[in-house]
Amino acid sequence: MSGEIPGQVPVKVYPWPVRLLVGGLVALSGLGLPASLVILTTYPRLLLPLARALFEARLILVLSVAPLLVARALQWLCTARISCDEETVHVIGRALRIDIPRASIDRLAPWVVPLPAAGFGFVMRSGKRLRYGVEARDLGKVQAKIGVPSAPLFLEHPSAAYAVARQRVVWRWYHLAFKFALFPLLPGLLIFRLHQFITFGGAFGEYYLSGLRPYLTTLTIYVAMTCMDCLLWASLWRTVGEIGAFAATQVRPSASVAIRRAIEVLCSLLYYGGIAAMILYAFLR
């Protein structure tokens, strides 16, 4: 099922209980990161850096990574393709084949809550809804492929407009590497250097006292801990931003692209600016 076959559009097809499960896991994974940040700030202070780093890593793995991995496995099992001919829409998946006469389709109904991602259901002319939902990476492409006469209004629905605007934001690997690996080195190295001066009396105090290996171990712990802290800090503003973008798009779906741009800029400012402000506060207070 890998790769795109000409004439077919890759999608994921869920029976409603599976969609409910996968959507819940994706939501849990997304909320697990800001929840980890809340737990860390309210948990009794862990004095040892290694203990705090391990505790933080376990929180991220249990509350975010594990649900996401299970959700991705279920999504892989639900992989399918849509193809069409003049009279029929064919949905073909793993141990699944649905043939829908075009004449019996009244409209496509976008999911009100785009979880696990953007998607829609088939509403038939009889008034009934097909019990399978379709998740699509490109809603416009799927809508054009199916070609339901009433579908032009499909992308004007607030939830569809939100999803399409969000899909236009593409984070390349080097953006993510800079944001969550290179940039956190700045606060990580500053905190490590401060720790060395306070605990050992100099920038290389632990190296002179205990040797290179303990010195590099402590450096690794502080940098890893700072990278995780930055990830949790970003997740906090991303969660707030997505809720705000979804709510604003419900009010003005025609402004979904502008809303998305504003949210992305705001999230970046709060991430980078917030970390810079906290560093300045720590050194100037």
Amino acid 1: pLDDT: 45
pLDDT over 70 percentage in the chain: 94
Rounded to whole angstroms, the Cα distance separating 147 from 167 reads 21
The more confidently predicted of residues 139 and 189 is 189
Lowest mean pLDDT among 42-46, 82-86, 218-222: 42-46
Amino acid 194: pLDDT: 86
The more confidently predicted of residues 4 and 199 is 199
Written as one letter, the residue type at 134 is V
Check whether 32 has a pLDDT greater than 90.
yes
Q: pLDDT class for 2, splitting at 50, 70, 90?
A: very low
Q: How many helices (H) and strands (E) does the chain have?
A: 11, 7
Tens-place pLDDT, residues 248-280: 999 999 899 999 999 999 999 999 999 999 888
> CA-based angle 191:193:194, to the nearest 5?
65
Residue among 246, 243, 228, 239 at smallest CA distance from 270: 239
Residue among 37, 33, 21 at smallest CA distance from 63: 33
* pTM for the predicted model, two decimal places: 0.84
Average pLDDT of the segment spanning 99-112: 86
Lowest mean pLDDT among 69-73, 160-164, 239-243: 160-164
Amino acid 4: pLDDT: 47
Helix H, strand E, coil C: the string for 2-33 is CCCCCCCEEEEEEEHHHHHHHHHHHHHHHHHH
Tens-place pLDDT, residues 213-225: 989 999 999 999 9
pLDDT over 90 percentage in the chain: 47
